[in-house]
Amino acid sequence: VTGDVALDNTGAVTIADDAVTTAKLANITRGAILVGGAFNAPTVYDAKTDGQILVGNGTDVRSVAVVGDVTLDNTGAVTIADDAVTNAKIANATINLTSKVTGALQIQNGGTGGNTNLSARTNLGIISGSVILDGTSSTIVTSVVGVDTSYIVTATFSVNSSQKYIITAIANNNGTITIKTSGLPANGDRISFIAIDSN
């Protein structure tokens, strides 16, 4: 006896290694696989349920659907469910608000697209600053700070050795602020101001 089997003088038939090709196997239903079943017997298992995957449970193989925070379709595409990513599931990280956040005003980041607290205040329509006086006039005009006549201005002495007070503080169309004091302030006195856009 030759070929795929051998026969000894006791009548025992032995199939040769690699003799059983796939062509020699009995037909298996399309989408099924061979697995080890009960008592280690070869078992045909239906593994073609749409969108399911094969998962071992420590004893057998099961075809199960992917459920929970994600779903899986039959192309292998995984979709995260709406509202599935909670704060607890997001790793701590440093985020560049300028490049990653749009349409939002982050004060600590200086506003959208900004990088200083000054730009944040400007985006909110708030301008602040100070001017050091030289003691030559009771009418002080600041440098251009970006205001116009829609701004409401308040001012106060932050350094006031002469004990004068503010009479008026008015925003001008040319971007400056005119401040008048009750008398001639001393050289080195300082006036701080804040201007808020009323629009």
Mean pLDDT, residues 133-142: 94
pTM score above 0.85 = no
Name the phi and psi angles at 52, rounded to 5: -105, 160
Q: Could you report the per-residue pLDDT of 140-184, keeping only the tens digit for each? A: 999 998 899 999 999 999 999 999 999 999 999 999 999 999 999
**According to the model, what pLDDT value does residue 114 have?**
40
Query: Which tokens is 76 given?
Result: 């292998």
**According to the model, what pLDDT value does residue 196 have?**
93
**According to the model, what pLDDT value does residue 116 have?**
43
Query: Which tokens is 31 given?
Result: 């989408």
Query: Which tokens is 20 given?
Result: 């059983």
Cα dist from 199 to 50, 125, 126, 172, 175, whole Å: 60, 9, 11, 15, 16
Q: Could you report the per-residue pLDDT of 16-47, keeping only the tens digit for each? A: 999 999 888 888 889 899 899 888 888 888 88
Q: Roughly how many angstroms between the first and final C-alpha of the chain, as a whole number?
A: 104
**According to the model, what pLDDT value does residue 101 have?**
63
**According to the model, what pLDDT value does residue 167 have?**
96
Query: Which tokens is 13 given?
Result: 């038939």
Report the C-alpha gap between 184 and 164 in whole angstroms.
8
Q: Could you report the per-residue pLDDT of 67-122, keeping only the tens digit for each? A: 999 999 999 999 999 999 998 998 888 777 666 666 555 555 444 444 444 455 66
Q: Which residue has the tokens 């008048």?
A: 180
**According to the model, what pLDDT value does residue 106 have?**
52
